A and B are shown apart, each in its own frame.
Chain A
Amino acid sequence: MTGSLLPLLVVVPLLGAALGALVPGAVARALLVLAPVVTTAGGAALLVEHAQTPVLAHNVGGFVPGIAIPLVSDTFTAVMITVTGFTTTACIGFALVTGEARLRFFPTLVMMLSAGVNGALLTGDVFNLFVFIEVMLLPSYALIAMTGTWRRLGIGRLFVVVNLVTSTILLIGVGLVYGVAGSVNMAVLSGVDADDPRFQLAVGVVLLALAVKAGVVPLHGWLPRAYPATSATVMALFSALHTKVAIYAIFRIHQTVLDGATSWMVPLLVVFGVTMLVGAYGSLGERMVRRSLAWQMIAGVGYILIGLGVGTQLGLAAGLFYMVHHILVMGSLLLSSGAIERAYLTHQFLGLSGLMRREPLLAVVVALAMMSLVGFPPSSGFFGKVGIARAAADLEGAWIWLVLGVLVVASIGTLLSMTKLWGDVFWGPPLEESPSRGKGHTDLPPVDAETRMQKRSLAPAGALLLVSLAIFVVPGPLWELCLQAAEGLLDVTAYVEAVTAP
């Protein structure tokens, strides 16, 4: 496999998006399923390829290196493409079950989103990153406006305004980088003196904008308000793609462009630690399933990025491992919530109760996914947190105890939040006898004793959970990949050579 095949990962979903708008619905839905499957297969092929060649690069159009727009893939990119592709497939499976895939232009928009994600993961150019993030966001604005509750239009405004202002800041940052360094090619920027304060400031503006998009505390406020107003399918897609692409870009730029500057370690550790705590305990104030989960997304961002804060090979690898785990488990939980909403028409705690006896299969899936989120075995979350704890043990002096302490306290917060969610939704009297859904004093329709969810609406969540469980049983291969990816992030020589080679 050569680098010249890399653009296909962007071109195939984009072509699918264009075709999907023209052809009849059934064909469009076939394309919709095909596009992420092809992406996942492409990612897996890249993973196999990177066992021999660490970095593949392609200068689009064959222009001179440094001027051309490069698409670059290394192990980190390949892991991300595979995992996001797989999770997108599961989300689309759920959209087919709920019938959202039948909405006009839904297939087109999701494929466009997928193209933007693949492009943002592959690009080796900071300006091009901005473009692909916009390619990713534009269909998202439309997806928010077409699915979800009546709140979505008001929330859509919030989402658009926050993201557009952030993109403008990102653009200003890119302009400053170009002004200081004379290039926006990450491989070229890697050679610029990272100690130049002007350069650090310019890259800092870029990282700040990406931090808003990732939902790092204190720039997280928009996320738990915006995401839950959309449908569960779209929220699961956004959770797997948007924030994770921003985190990917933070990792990439911090390591490649700033050469992993350790002078930022203290503020980074503090900010990411606070993100973990605020996210973990934020759920406690919520009365809706997906709002509660949105806060846990923020906590996850903290866990992933604390690996970057530690900055060693172990730290970076642990962060990546946690990211893979978090994408899978969060997707599983959100799609489970989607299955609940489909059968019982709400995700408010008030309107749900006694689901454990009513839906035993759902209860098993959600319980295991929650344990994964908290970090209990038997799930990928256990090794995710072990990895972070192990990496934190290499820090100096009091930092070990601080990071480990935050890790434990934040995990307890997640445990409390998930226990509350479990108690309100899965325990309690049977739904048809509960005060809110029985004879009914609320706006919610009463539920019959016979109402059950369709088994197939649980399949996508179950599939994601099975992968998480598989990672617990055989963590070795994924951990090896994460270590390999972290090595590529620490020593960028191969990356720079592959991009700048004529």
Chain B
Amino acid sequence: MTVLPITIGVLVAGGVYLLCQPGLVRIVFGITLLSHGANLVLLASGVSAWRGEPLTGVGDPAEAGDPLPMAFVLTAIVITLAVTVFMLALARIGHDDDTRHVPDTGEDHHA
């Protein structure tokens, strides 16, 4: 079971990288990656940590995968989706994003 932790690590690392970028759209993508990482953590806690696969004919039903973390993930996805839509709206409207104009630092950016 090394695939899941590595995937979570990659998602979180990518998410944190994007969060540190200027511009709200990139931050929104970063948050999306981060929340996917969180969802996988939740799934991991219910499925691979101590249960078998939730498939018919594989293992004992009493040992099968836990539905509760899946419900958690579903709830989390809905919440993240709603906030993502709101943040994309914020990225579109309102006053200048800090990436829209190059700040005047006295340097020549076209040199």
Known: A134-B79, A157-B90. A178 touches B68 (CB 8 A): yes
- Which of these, A127, A154, A164, A167, contacts B94 with CB under 8 Å? A154
Report B70 CB to chain A, min CB distance, Å.
12
Q: How many A-B residue pairs have CB under 8 A?
A: 80
- Which of these, A131, A145, A175, contacts B41 with CB under 8 Å? A175
Report B10 CB to chain A, min CB distance, Å.
15
For window 103-135 of chain A, which residues contact chain B by CB distance below 8 Å? 127, 131, 134
CB-based contact B49/A179 at 8 Å: yes
CB-based contact B83/A160 at 8 Å: yes
Known: A131-B75, A153-B95. A164 touches B42 (CB 8 A): no
Report B57 CB to chain A, min CB distance, Å.
25
CB-based contact B69/A160 at 8 Å: no
CB-based contact B45/A176 at 8 Å: yes
Known: A150-B95, A175-B44, A178-B45. A164 touches B83 (CB 8 A): yes
Known: A138-B82, A165-B31. A157 touches B87 (CB 8 A): yes
Q: Cβ of A427: which chain B residues have Cβ within 8 Å of it?
A: none
Q: Cβ of B76: which chain A residues have Cβ within 8 Å of it?
A: 171
Q: Cβ of B68: which chain A residues have Cβ within 8 Å of it?
A: 178
Number of A residues near B (Cβ < 8 Å) is 26
Q: Cβ of B44: which chain A residues have Cβ within 8 Å of it?
A: 175, 179
Main secondary structure of the interface of A (DSSP, over half): helix
CB-based contact B31/A168 at 8 Å: yes
Binary contact track A277-293/B, C-beta < 8 Å → 1, others 0 = 00000000000000000
Main secondary structure of the interface of B (DSSP, over half): helix
For window 11-47 of chain B, which residues contact chain A by CB distance below 8 Å? 19, 24, 27, 31, 34-35, 37-38, 41-42, 44-46
- Which of these, B41, B86, B93, contacts A160 with CB under 8 Å? B86
CB-based contact B42/A171 at 8 Å: yes
Binary contact track B70-92/A, C-beta < 8 Å → 1, others 0 = 00100110011011001100110
Binary contact track A135-157/B, C-beta < 8 Å → 1, others 0 = 00010011001000010011011
Q: Cβ of B50: which chain A residues have Cβ within 8 Å of it?
A: 182
Q: Cβ of A154: which chain B residues have Cβ within 8 Å of it?
A: 94-95
Q: Cβ of A182: which chain B residues have Cβ within 8 Å of it?
A: 50
Known: A175-B41, A175-B44. A168 touches B90 (CB 8 A): no
Report B83 CB to chain A, min CB distance, Å.
5
Least CB separation from A133: chain B residue: B79
- Which of these, A131, A161, A174, contacts B42 with CB under 8 Å? A174
Q: Cβ of B19: which chain A residues have Cβ within 8 Å of it?
A: 161, 165
- Which of these, A141, A156, A175, A178, contacts B38 with CB under 8 Å? A175
- Which of these, B35, B38, B90, contacts A145 with CB under 8 Å? B90
Q: Cβ of B49: which chain A residues have Cβ within 8 Å of it?
A: 179
Task: Find the residue from B37, B45, B91 having the highest chain A CB count within 10 A.
Answer: B45
Residue A172 CB within 8 A of the other chain? yes
CB-based contact A153/B42 at 8 Å: no
Report A154 CB to chain B, min CB distance, Å.
6
- CA separation between A134 and B46, bound complex, in Å? 22
Known: A164-B31, A175-B45. A153 touches B69 (CB 8 A): no
For window 174-233 of chain A, which residues contact chain B by CB distance below 8 Å? 174-176, 178-179, 182
CB-based contact A153/B87 at 8 Å: no
Report B24 CB to chain A, min CB distance, Å.
6
- CA separation between A131 and B72, bound complex, in Å? 9
Q: Cβ of A168: which chain B residues have Cβ within 8 Å of it?
A: 31, 34-35, 38
CB-based contact A176/B41 at 8 Å: yes
CB-based contact A178/B46 at 8 Å: yes
- CA separation between A10 and B69, bound complex, in Å? 24
Least CB separation from A142: chain B residue: B86
CB-based contact A178/B24 at 8 Å: no
Assuming A141-B86, A154-B95, A168-B34, what are 5 further A-B pairs, CB within 8 angstroms? A145-B90, A150-B95, A153-B95, A156-B90, A175-B38
Provide a sorted-by-A list of 24 A–B residue pairs whose CB atoms are within 8 angstroms: A134-B79, A138-B79, A141-B86, A154-B95, A157-B24, A157-B27, A157-B90, A157-B91, A160-B90, A165-B31, A168-B31, A168-B35, A168-B38, A171-B41, A171-B42, A172-B37, A174-B42, A174-B72, A175-B45, A175-B69, A175-B72, A176-B45, A178-B46, A179-B44
Q: 3 tightest CB-CB pairs across the interface, nearest first?
A: A179-B45, A153-B94, A175-B42
